[in-house]
Structures are given as structure tokens and as C-alpha cells.
Homo-oligomer: A and B are copies of this chain.
Amino acid sequence: MPERFAYLGPEGTFTEAALTIAVERAGLPETPELIPCATVPAALETVRTGTADAAMVPLENSVEGAVPATLDELATGEPLSVTGEVLLPVSFALLARPGTTLQDVKRVMTHPHAAAQCRGWLAGALPEAEILMGSSTAAAAASLTDPGSAADAAIAAPIAGRHYGLVELATDIGANSDAITRFVMVARPGAPSEPTGADRTTVVLFIADDHPGALLEILSEFSMRGVNLTRIESRPTGHGLGRYCFSIDCDGHVKDARVGEALMGLKRICSDVRFLGSYPRSDGGLPTTRPGMTDADFASAATWLNGIRDAGGCG
């Protein structure tokens, strides 16, 4: 039976594009089944219930920031694990039904985020066009398949054009040509894949009490072991203003000694630590760390400690 992957739909979203990349990378024996879902919680629920084996959802965007729905579902819902990531440049295209020219375009439908990022291009190329809002860029593209659509064109991902038989009237029309979205593959909890040497670990930390300096202590547990953070987000716990949990990505794998010791340290001082997974970094970046923090350094120090515990002396 082929694997089944849920994703934030509808067909033609950037998330589907990310999922396609992940599926290609995985080199699966059978073509998997892809299941579009209306919302991030819905996509993750298919994994929890077993309807899907895993789900691809957006985690953060270099322009918009974190995706709260994803962070909150992972932080507080029934436990799930992150098993991989895909970084995808956000490239917007102006899509239309075949035969449409730029001059024909009077009404453009898209999602408000995309409208904001393409505002400059629209002002220059289609100053008279009316902008209509859809629930997603893919939905905007899909709406064009209805001949009675209120819109003549849609701003969406190129993949949406391929899905809905549309042509690209213009490409790469966003203001941030280096905008990137990071997507994560989420599965039911299981053993993390083996370390590759260029891994990332995702955790959620709940503060034991809101004493001043609690965040400083948390960051010190990482920095003392030479573990670099690559993302930190505070999220409300829902129990009043000023009560946060922290969603954190760090360099390294839970099986790396320095990451393991940092996590144990956090476990001791936090009210809760939710481990969400260790997985290969898709940017291939290698961790830079302080001297003395390799697995060999940890092993050597442990051997030394056992020596002095057993026999004294200078180890």
C-alpha cells in the first residue's frame, strides 16, 4: 500500500510543492497518496488518527514569521514528531486562463499575504486592477477554473498553475525575491533517524515559573554546551499574558552528546520539555560549535570522570 501524506491544501499550494520535493528526495517505491487538508490542524489530525502516515505543514516564513497554528498544534496537541524539513523559495506568479493577456486583467484574486508581497509589482504593472481576497493562493488559482469566476487572474505558486491548467503571465513578482518558507514533515512519535552530522532538533520548553531570568537560564543550557539556536519563538500558553512557552530549533541531533546534555539540563529546570524531533537540515549547513563539544570530547571527559571516581588521582 502506498504511503499517504497529508498537506495544507488545496492542491497547488506552496505546501504541496514542498511535499513533492520531500517525496522525490525519499525515493519511495510506490507513488504516494497526497491528501490536501483545509487547515494545519486538520492536516496534523490525519496523522494522529492514522488516515495519513505523515503531514507536510509550514513552520515559518522569512517574511511573515512563524506559523502560529503549526507551533501551537505541535506544542500542545497530542504528541507528534518532526521527521524532516524542506526550505522552499517563495516565488509568486500571475496566473490566468490560457488566452488571457496582461491587458485583459481587471481583477486579481490572491491571499492577503501574497497581495502584500506583490503590492509593488501590481502598482507598476496593473495599477487599475481590483484585488480580490481568497482563502489561499491555491484557492484563488482554483477559482479561475470556474468560467464565471469574479477574477481574471490569480497570484499563486507556479505549481498551482500546473494543477489548474493556467498560464503564467508574469513570474517572480514578489517584493522579497529571497523569501523562503520552511516546511516540516510531521509523523506519529517514533525513534529519530540516525545523526547525519548536519542535523536540527526541535523542542518546546515550558518555564517552571515566571521568575526573571528564566529565559536566560534556558539559553545558557544551550550555549554552555556549544549548541547554537537557529530559531526561538515565544508562544502564549493560554494561561494569561506573560506566560509563555518557547518553541526552539537548535543545531545538532538528540543523539549528539552536547545536545543530549543540554536537553537533560533543560528537563531539570523546565516544568516540561517536549521533544519534537531531530532530523537532517535541508540546507546542509554544518554546526559551528565551541572547542571541546564534540562527541569525542564528551566521551573522553566521561572516561576521565569514571577514572577519578573509581581510583582517584588526576584521571
- The complex places the Cα of A212 from the Cα of B268 at a distance, in Å, of 19
B312 touches A81 (CB 8 A): yes
Within 8 A of B (CB), among A222-279: 223-224, 228-236, 238-244, 254-255, 260-261, 263-265, 267-269, 273-275, 277
CB A300 to nearest CB in B, in angstroms, measures: 8
User: What is the number of residues of chain A that contact chain B, defined by CB distance less than 8 Å?
Assistant: 80
A60 within 8 A of B: yes
- Chain B, residue nearest A117 (CB): B238
B304 touches A267 (CB 8 A): yes
CB A62 to nearest CB in B, in angstroms, measures: 5
Chain B residues with CB below 8 A from A223, complex form = 212-213, 216
Segment at the interface with B among A10-18, A19-27, A143-151, A187-195: A187-195
B314 touches A189 (CB 8 A): yes
Q: Which of B182, B255, B273 contacts A315 (CB 8 A)?
A: B273
Chain B residues with CB below 8 A from A219, complex form = 215-216, 219
Determine the main DSSP class of A at the interface with B.
Answer: mixed
A305 within 8 A of B: yes
- The complex places the Cα of A293 from the Cα of B267 at a distance, in Å, of 11
Count of this chain's copies in the oligomeric assembly: 4
B275 touches A315 (CB 8 A): yes
A165 within 8 A of B: no
Candidate in A192, A288, A313 with the most chain B CB atoms within 10 angstroms: A313
- The complex places the Cα of A264 from the Cα of B305 at a distance, in Å, of 7
CB A225 to nearest CB in B, in angstroms, measures: 8
Chain B residues with CB below 8 A from A241, complex form = 60, 62, 87, 180, 182, 231
CB A314 to nearest CB in B, in angstroms, measures: 5
- The complex places the Cα of A221 from the Cα of B215 at a distance, in Å, of 13
Within 8 A of B (CB), among A286-310: 288, 290-293, 297-298, 300-302, 304-305, 308-310
B274 touches A314 (CB 8 A): yes
Chain B residues with CB below 8 A from A239, complex form = 62, 178
Chain B residues with CB below 8 A from A228, complex form = 212
Contacts A178-B240, A216-B216 known; 4 new A-B pairs at CB < 8 A = A63-B238, A65-B236, A180-B241, A182-B241
Q: Which 5 A-B pairs have the closest CB atoms?
A: A189-B313, A268-B292, A264-B301, A212-B228, A267-B301
